Structure 1
């Protein structure tokens, strides 16, 4: 018999607790060796016989609002018990959140959208700011995006345009004072020249 990757060894006490839950309709597989294979996403317990009896007894006397409150309370207790059993079995209950795109991915997608689908494109200040801050860095804004960025910069207006020119001039003065042997500096310097030529 092959066991899945999510199999764990459990104590006999825990095994009994889990068997009770299974008898109530939970979803996991217990093997005779004391090994349990669980499917945490589908694993749930139903109300115990005592809880069901209590609900049935009180349903006759309770208002609809009181019934809902009682059902929520019992559901909360069941979930708490499930989590405790899962913890004891050593199974993590963490939710896996999908990875969100990074700031650079979003900014480059924004630029691509501006270029390829202008009718769907929408101005986003944060994306523009990111692009203006990192446009001289070849690793963050590769050459194929830099050519699109130059076209984008032609439409730059107001304070953003003035600030971009001021920063480019300051960078150029800084690079004029350096020895100019570093290839990364030469690439940055070339990008700065292109931006100054475009915006001046």
Structure 2
């Protein structure tokens, strides 16, 4: 017959209150801190505290749970005090935009940094916005063209298809393209990848 796992007894409300009170008075003695021979049980068993009406001490797991609860309560009280004092908790630093991250990625690639590694999201952003001179400035576009030379697989195919479709749209519009810089970028990408 297979052995069944022992059910861990749940800590009652009364026991929780006693434990909170005891932890507020001083640090709890763990099984390793208890003197050997005096109520020190085997691993997982409750240990009796010397001098406190022989109340069982928490197991290491129960002690960790209690410490987490107390830490959470302290943080909550601290936030409450800050709110009452009119101080706003410090906000985390603002995140960098996708444009900044993608251009940094491109610059690191160009400088052949050892810490550069391929990032699909950055490449995708660059491929989506490479025709927009506001998002990818002219000084970065030449670097982007060099990056596109190494483009492989489906990304390369889709980039060529998209450039061809955009070129067809520009041809259909007529002789006065609204964005001559964009048309030039499309031609450069097509010449490079075709």
TM-score by length of 1: 0.61
Which structure shows the higher helix fraction? 1
Which structure shows the higher strand fraction? 1
Q: Is the 8 A contact 1:175 1:185 kept in 2?
A: no
Distance 1:131 1:70, change over 3 A: closer
State how far apart, in whole Å, the 1-side matches of 2:24 and 2:110 are: 65
The correspondence for 1:90, drawn from 82, 86, 93, is 86
State how 1:93-108 maps to structure 2 within 5 Å.
Answer: 94-108=89-103
Q: Which residue of 1 aligns with 2:150?
A: 155
**1:125 aligns to 2:95 (yes or no):** no
CA deviations on 1:22-51 (whole Å, 9 max, x unpaired) are xxxxxxxxxxxxxxxxxxxxxxxxxxxxx6
CA deviations on 1:156-184 (whole Å, 9 max, x unpaired) are 112111111111111011111224545x6
CA deviations on 1:130-181 (whole Å, 9 max, x unpaired) are 1111100001111111001111111111211111111111101111122454
TM-score by length of 2: 0.62
**1:194 aligns to 2:188 (yes or no):** yes
Compute the RMSD of aligned alpha carbons: 2.9
Q: Is the 8 A contact 1:135 1:141 kept in 2?
A: yes
SS of residue in 2 equivalent to 1:189: helix
Note the residue ranges of structure 2 that are not aligned, 5 or more in a row.
Answer: 1-20, 29-48
State how far apart, in whole Å, the 2-side matches of 1:54 and 1:110 are: 51
Distance 1:82 1:145, change over 3 A: closer
State how far apart, in whole Å, the 1-side matches of 2:72 and 2:119 are: 43
State how 1:1-200 maps to structure 2 within 5 Å.
Answer: 55=25, 60=52, 61=55, 63=57, 65=59, 76-92=72-88, 94-181=89-176, 185-200=179-194
Q: Choose between structure 1 and 2 for higher RCO, CA contacts under 8 A separated by at least 6 residues.
A: 1
State how far apart, in whole Å, the 2-side matches of 1:86 and 1:72 are: 21
Q: Is the 8 A contact 1:115 1:148 kept in 2?
A: yes
Distance 1:73 1:62, change over 3 A: farther
Distance 1:52 1:128, change over 3 A: same
